[in-house]
Amino acid sequence: MYLTIDSIEKSFINDRKENVKVLDGINLNVKKGSFVSIVGPSGCGKSTLLYLVAGLDKADSGEIRVDGNLVTKPGPERVVVFQEAGLFPWLTVLENVTYGLNLKNMPKEEAKAKALDVLKMVHLSRYVNSYPHELSGGMKQRVSIARALVMEPDILLMDEPFSALDEQTRMVLHKELLEIWRKTKVTIFFITHNIREAVLLSEEVVVFATRPGRIKEIIPVPTMKDGVTPDSVTLNTEQRILSILQDEIEKVLKEEMGDDYSFKTDHLHRGDSGDMGSHI
């Protein structure tokens, strides 16, 4: 396996000085070039695990390896795309994308050529001289993805990158991300609250239990030879994930609402996929 996550444990100290376990014995193997999504209730440690893989934080115990090499700090083979684009407002689109290459002292013309290639891939060739304030939310996130891709990472770590976008923009970016993945063969480790998004994009969906985060089940997403998942399979897979998460959602609600809890999740098993069914 290319990315191996072995017996990861992680705790934090909360505002009340209490030790809170966030991740409890996480074991996961990810194949090179695969697209894997993580879903689960809020606060279950999805993003924490991504930060550990990125080398931005350290586990209490266990280890993470990429191609056999122990992860102890951030590295160029692992690049993160966050929910917020985080662009430098005083730099143009092209300058934002070449920023990391300049830090590596790449010759300017070579850096520019590489940046223009990835900007073409994310359909932003016409906006290379634009500034972030001139872009829509979806366009900003495209720049963020381009800035990550230009570094030619082996693993693209994406922490809810489309959650702040409207549905139409999100659908367009889903299509573009799949095109990029198939073209570059990069390994994608994707965090989301949106079950449908996970099913539409991924080869595997890893379902987390509520805190402390544990892997409850790993669900493969069947696809046709052309890489398209039939609607019936998408719906069935969504419903399967919702069924797995029903108890976990109730646990979170009971913990948050206490004696006021009276919400029932039976409606999550209905045949449609409304907002409540698609998001957790």
Residue 201 forms part of a structural domain: yes
Taking the alpha carbons of 16, 48, 80, 121 in that order, is the dihedral positive or negative?
A: negative
Q: In total, how many domains does the chain have?
A: 2
Out of 99, 118, 152, a domain closes at 152
Extract the runs of DSSP E, i.e. beta strands, from the chain: 3-13, 19-30, 35-39, 61-66, 69-70, 78-81, 155-159, 187-191, 204-208, 215-220
Q: Is 52 inside a domain boundary?
A: yes
Domain that holds residue 179: 3-77+157-278
**What is the CATH number for 232?**
3.40.50.300
Are 19 and 121 within one domain?
Answer: no
Q: Is residue 109 part of a domain?
A: yes
Rounded to whole angstroms, the Cα distance separating 93 from 48 reads: 29
Asked if 113 and 100 sit in the same domain, the reply is yes
Claim to verify: residue 71 and residue 173 sit in the same structural domain: yes
Residues 31 and 73 in one domain: yes
243 in helix, strand or coil?
A: helix
Tell me, yes or no, whether 103 and 218 share the same domain: no
Both 227 and 260 in one domain: the answer is yes
Q: Are residues 52 and 179 in the same domain?
A: yes
Are residues 91 and 68 located together in one domain of the fold? no
pLDDT at 259: 62
Residue 276 has a CB neighbour count (10 Å cut-off) of 14
pTM of the full structure? 0.86
Q: Half-sphere exposure of residue 146, counting CA atoms within 13 Å on the CB side? A: 31
Beta bridge partners of 19: 13
Asked which of 137, 152, 167 is the last residue of a domain, the reply is 152
Residues 273 and 180 in one domain: yes
Task: State residue 229's pLDDT score.
Answer: 61
Kindly state whether residues 189 and 224 are assigned to the same domain.
Answer: yes
Do 161 and 235 share a domain, yes or no?
yes
- Which residues of the chain, if any, have pLDDT below 70? 1, 224-230, 251-253, 255-280
Predicted local distance difference test score (pLDDT) of residue 244 = 84
What is the reported pLDDT for 164?
Answer: 84
pLDDT at 226: 53
Per-residue pLDDT, 276: 40
CA pair distance 73, 52, nearest whole angstrom: 9
**pLDDT computed for residue 225 by the predictor:** 47
Q: Is residue 82 part of a domain?
A: no
One domain, residues 142 and 195? no
